[in-house]
Amino acid sequence: MSFDFSRIAIKNLFSKPATCNYPAEPRKYPERYRGSVKINIDNCIMCGLCQKKCPANAITVDRDGKTWSIERMACVQCESCVVNCPKKCLSMEQQYSEPSADKTRDSFVQQTKEEAEA
């Protein structure tokens, strides 16, 4: 029994570590890593299709208030909202959602034409 443990301990001493030195070394994401949803709010037409297609109900679109919001910890990164967006203003960016003890929503407000000109 102790011989098996010794063999495993010696093997682990001479093998490469299984983890990286994060955050000193930047994270290398796999090629097909989905990450988190990013929006280009200026191109959004507030159609609400992303909200309807989200299986986790993480996205909220308010046409009257011109706001788009996402609850990051509820998002399952399925990419359904990105695929179904008619204006292609949603994309997946390769990064992790920042950990938090609180459930927060990221909200984006679309400027009106008058606000953009000012």
**pLDDT-based confidence at residue 114 (cuts at 50, 70, 90):** low
d(CA 95, CA 80): 18
Task: For the chain, give the mean pLDDT.
Answer: 85
106 versus 23: the higher-pLDDT residue is 106
Amino acid, single-letter form, for residue 27 = R
* Token pair for 46: 């507030």
67-71 and 90-93 as β-strands: parallel, antiparallel, unpaired?
Answer: unpaired
Given a cut of 90, is residue 50 above it in pLDDT?
yes
Which pTM does this prediction carry?
0.69
Scored b (16 or more CB within 10 A) or e, 33-60 reads ebebbebeeeebebeebbbeebeeebbb
Given a cut of 80, is residue 1 above it in pLDDT?
no
